[in-house]
Chain A
Amino acid sequence: MANPEAVIDRYIGGGRLYFSNYNGTDYDAEVEIGEVQDVSLKIETSEADAFSKDTGVKKKVDKVVTEINSSLSFTTQNVNKENMAMAMFGDLQTETFAIGDTLPDGTVATEEIIIPVVVGGANSIIEGKLRFVSTNVSGDSNPALIINHAFIKASGDVRNYFADSHATLSFDGEIVEMNGEYFKEYFIPKA
Chain B
Amino acid sequence: MAEPKKVTITALTELRAKGGKKIPVGKTTEVLESTANILVKNKQAEIVKG
**Cβ of A111 under 8 Å from chain B:** yes
A107/B38 in contact, CB under 8 A: no
What does the 1/0 interface line of B26-44 toward A look like (CB < 8 Å)? 0001010001001101101
Complex Cα distance, B13 from A105, in Å, reads 12
A100/B39 in contact, CB under 8 A: yes
Q: Which residues of A sit under 8 angstroms from B31, Cβ to Cβ?
A: 110
Complex Cα distance, B44 from A103, in Å, reads 13
**Cβ of B49 under 8 Å from chain A:** no
**Cβ of A108 under 8 Å from chain B:** yes
In the complex, number of A-B residue pairs with CB atoms less than 8 Å apart = 38
B39/A107 in contact, CB under 8 A: no
Q: Which residues of B sit under 8 angstroms from A108, Cβ to Cβ?
A: 13-16, 39, 42, 44
Q: Which residues of B sit under 8 angstroms from A99, Cβ to Cβ?
A: 35, 38-39
Interface SS of chain B: helix, strand, loop or mixed? mixed
We find that the number of chain A residues with CB closer than 8 angstroms to chain B is: 11
Complex Cα distance, B38 from A111, in Å, reads 11
**Cβ of B17 under 8 Å from chain A:** yes
- Which of A107, A109, A113 has the most chain B CB within a 10 Å cutoff? A107
We find that the number of chain B residues with CB closer than 8 angstroms to chain A is: 16
A110/B14 in contact, CB under 8 A: no
Please pick, from B13, B35, B42, the residue contacting A111 in the complex, using a CB distance under 8 A. Answer: B35
Q: Which residues of A sit under 8 angstroms from B17, Cβ to Cβ?
A: 110-111
A103/B35 in contact, CB under 8 A: no
Known: A100-B44, A103-B16. A110 touches B22 (CB 8 A): no
Q: Residues on B close to A: CB < 8 A?
A: 13-18, 22-23, 29, 31, 35, 38-39, 41-42, 44
15 A-B pairs in the complex with CB atoms less than 8 angstroms apart: A99-B35, A100-B39, A100-B44, A103-B16, A107-B14, A107-B16, A107-B22, A108-B13, A108-B14, A108-B42, A108-B44, A109-B16, A110-B39, A111-B17, A111-B35
18 further A-B contacts with Cβ under 8 Å, apart from A107-B13, A110-B15, A110-B29, are A99-B35, A99-B38, A100-B39, A100-B42, A106-B14, A107-B14, A108-B15, A108-B16, A108-B39, A109-B16, A110-B16, A110-B17, A110-B18, A110-B31, A111-B17, A111-B18, A111-B35, A113-B16
